[in-house]
Amino acid sequence: MEVYYTGVIIAVSTFLIIGIFHPIVMKTEYYTGTRYWWVFLVAGIICIGAAFLVANVLFSAILGVVGASSLWSIGELFEQRQRCEKGWFPKNPKRIGTGYYRDEKK
């Protein structure tokens, strides 16, 4: 009986990639706001495009997961801003009073 580890490696990689993207989104919103959402878009398109071109199933799947996580992070970046406005996460003190957060009085 042969044992294949590809599925388990993909599952663990997916879990780790998603776990890595959570703090990336939080730090990006805290330090730069939502202005760099396009970086996630470009990274996602490149990774998904590369996943189509890579013949190895393992690397293709991992590139696809990174690409999908990058694209998903665009929405999470804007939702993180709303979470900060609700008080669920800390606001960047340098950005308070600049009109970045919609819950502030102008």
The Cα–Cα gap between 106 and 103 comes to 9
* Side chain identity, residue 43: A
CB 41 within 8 Å of CB 93: no
pLDDT at 95: 78
Domain boundaries defined on the chain: 6-77
In sequence order, what DSSP letters do the residues of the chain get, joined into one string?
-----HHHHHHHHHHHHHHHHHHHHHHHHHHHTTTTHHHHHHHHHHHHHHHHH---HHHHHHHHHHHHHHHHHHHHHHHHHHHHHHTSSPPPTTTTTTT-STTS--
What is the full per-residue pLDDT of the chain (106 aa) written as tens digits?
Answer: 888 899 999 999 999 999 999 999 999 999 988 889 999 999 999 999 999 999 999 999 999 999 999 999 999 999 999 998 888 988 888 877 777 777 666 5
pLDDT at 98: 74
**Reported pTM:** 0.87
pLDDT at 94: 81
CB 37 within 8 Å of CB 74: yes
pLDDT at 97: 72
